Amino acid sequence: MSSTDEKAYREMVNAQSDDQIDTWAGDLFQDFAKRMGVGNAIGSYCTVTGLDARGFQRAFLVGGGPDHVIGIDTAGQLAAPVFELPRAVAGLRRIDPEARGKLVDFLVRNAEVMSYTA
């Protein structure tokens, strides 16, 4: 994505409601995991949002994710069921006053993953 496209996309995303951003971020999280692996999706989410493993677990649990489903995969990365990943988006909203900006960043930085969505 060119810097011009990225700027226009960021402006479009920023113009959306919090609910729409959360929906898109949750959908992206699931699509990312399906295409590139759960560990990679969680890793990208954590990098963009500034969460470490414990922070991700906290966001996931605060967002309503069941505690017994988070684990470590064979590559040593955090893992959780794909359909539960949006719980971390809801949890981030509850624990981080800067969540909106971080979710916008997650969407913008991973826009290429969304471009493959049917």
Tell me the per-residue pLDDT of 43-102, one tens digit each, with 9 for 90 and over: 999 999 999 999 999 999 999 999 899 999 888 889 999 999 999 999 999 999 999 999
Q: 2-6, 14-18, 32-36, 107-111: which range is least confident on average?
A: 2-6
Q: List residues bridging with 72 in a β-sheet.
A: 78
- pLDDT of residue 1 exceeding 80: no
Gap between the Cα atoms of 54 and 58, Å rounded: 6
Tell me the per-residue pLDDT of 96-110, one tens digit each, with 9 for 90 and over: 999 999 999 999 999
Please state the rounded mean pLDDT for residues 16-24: 97
In the block, which residue shows the tokens 């963009």? 48
> What is the value of pTM for the model shown?
0.90
Task: Delimit the domains of the chain by residue range.
Answer: 3-114
